[in-house]
Structure 1
């Protein structure tokens, strides 16, 4: 991002965008082609898993929040891959600020809700299914998130918490509308998850929806923001240490030689001054 572009305001929020390189490259390697390959591989992989999950969940695919989460994660990787490809193939400026800002919002949502869903799935007091689909969508997703945070330099802002909260809030509204519409789940009952049964445990269901939206999601976003900030700083410190130039013997010798030359010049200057002073003293005595 050139100096004239740096610090411009995003098209939605009155906040400066991060450096353009945070979206298009990694501080771990100067090889942009390698990073573009990583982005494309992640996009293709998550898109394949997302498409594979649609027929397995039948016509109720949209009812599960895990699928909402994975769709957002897939959108993040696909959007990021598009940005990297556009920057890599472009001979001019590359992706616009609007494109970068949308990618920033998707990134913050994907990071937060992926970690939240994984933690709630594996530490849930209710029974869960352990299989390939569960590992891919509730375990590997968070592993990919952590790797992405470490590899990339995209910061996460605390005030972006509004986006994962809205994401979870929309799902809460969907759950209520699903119940009001009289739709049925897998077991033929009028709920998506048994712990969100608004007929038999309405207070529990409302408490979980509200608590997850306004307490759990903000907490995980704060943790995600802290982790992103610490990971970014640690990466920069490590990379700076690795790339720091160690003086070679030749450069050290040149440095010593320059110091010796400077010392010789000082000595000669002092001797010349002393010689001038002695000459003036001799002239004075002759007079």
Structure 2
């Protein structure tokens, strides 16, 4: 698929939806092509185990950090929920837990199915799991469109969390260091910078697809948060230390014009832009995997030509 064809496909009306031909891209990694160059013999039998271990490690890290954050902020148990950082970190933690659960379920389901049959072929394993024929692609696996099964609702929830938490997490990092940057403590770095580091790593090693028009999901999240801040302010709510605002740049009573500008630009510009960043990372990952696949196949093609001669 050329770049022009790819972009045209992104702007079709159905790209707003959450339909996809193959659920395996949500729980497997296309980076195994790269790993096979270093661990060829071992990966021949355990080609998905490294990704399962990665999911387990990230999930453990996210839960530990989440617990540390709420241990430090225990003196503000409810008011901590006023902040966009808290909303974003909760969604990122939920995404991590769900991704690990789905990955483990897919891994053990495929092992059970391999044990129930004498055929240990990976392609047939995925075919049994999805009810269709598959071929390798840049994003992992792709189904024969003649027989497709709709992805379950929890995969759709996973996909929405992926869009919202990843674009939202990058947006939180950018907005914090552009507008606030009032502290540089270890806790601040952990929740405002390391979150984006884990997001970028996850985008590059996972096989999850990304659609440009899915910006509507993080956009909806941004709108909901801004409406929440307006309602909370109108109801007389106070921020930390009884400030009359949650964020100084969202002071609707003291600086309403600035608050309106920040709210509109944050939702309508920053959030879609951050989703485009995630999309660009996914395209870069697909291009890299495609390049590695071509390089991996080139020696085989040359050997075939020599044999034919």
* TM-score of the superposed pair, with normalisation by structure 1: 0.76
Find the counterpart in structure 2 of residue 206 from structure 1: 260
Mapped contact 2:210–2:282 kept (Cα < 8 A):
yes
Deviations 1:105-141 (A, max 9, x none): 11111221111111122222x4421111111111111
Over residues 85-112 of structure 1, what are the superposed CA-to-partner deviations in whole Å (9 max), with x where a residue is unaligned? Answer: 1101114638952222221111111221
Residues 1:252 and 1:199: Cα distance change in structure 2 (over 3 Å): closer
Given that 2:204 and 2:285 are in contact with CA atoms closer than 8 Å, whether structure 1 keeps it comes out as: yes
Q: Deviations over 1:166-223 (max 9, x none)?
A: 1111111111122122222223221111121112101111221122111211122123
Correspondence for 2:103? 84
Partner of 1:99: 154
Equivalent residue number for residue 121 of structure 2: none
- Report which structure shows greater RCO (CA 8 Å, sep ≥6): 2
Root-mean-square deviation over aligned CA pairs: 2.5
Deviation at 1:252, TM superposition (A): 7.0
Contact kept, 8 Å, 2:19 with 2:151, in 1: the verdict is: no
Matches within 5 A, 1:191-202: 191-202=245-256
1:37 aligns with 2:53: yes
With structure 2 as the length reference, what TM-score do the two structures score? 0.71
Instruction: Tell me if the contact between 1:23 and 1:154 (Cα under 8 Å) persists in the aligned partners.
Output: yes
Q: Show the counterpart of 2:186.
A: 132
Please, which runs of 5 or more residues in structure 1 have no aligned partner? 1-11, 257-287
Aligned match of 1:219: 273
Q: Where does 1:1-287 land on structure 2 (aligned, <5 Å)? A: 14=17, 16-17=19-20, 19-29=22-32, 31-57=47-73, 58-59=76-77, 60-90=79-109, 91=112, 93=129, 97-124=152-179, 126-242=180-296, 244-246=298-300, 254-256=307-309
Rounded Cα–Cα distance in structure 1 between residues aligned with 2:293 and 2:302: 20
Tell me how far 1:81 sits from its aligned partner: 0.6
Q: 1:188 to 1:16 in 2, by over 3 A?
A: closer
Q: Which runs of 5+ in 2 are unaligned?
A: 1-14, 33-42, 114-128, 131-149
SS in 2 for 1:182: coil
CA distance in 1, matches of 2:31, 2:285: 12
Q: Aligned pair in 2 of structure 1 residues 150, 14: CA closer, same or farther (>3 Å)?
A: closer
Aligned residues: 243
Using a 3 Å threshold, how does the CA distance of structure 1 residues 123 and 14 change in structure 2: closer, same or farther? closer
Cα deviation code 1:209-264 (max 9, x no counterpart): 12211121112212321221222222232244235444798x777434xxxxxxxx
Contact preservation (8 Å) 2:18, 2:156 = no
Q: How many angstroms does 1:165 deviate by?
A: 0.8
Between the aligned partners of 2:157 and 2:178, the Cα distance in structure 1 is: 32
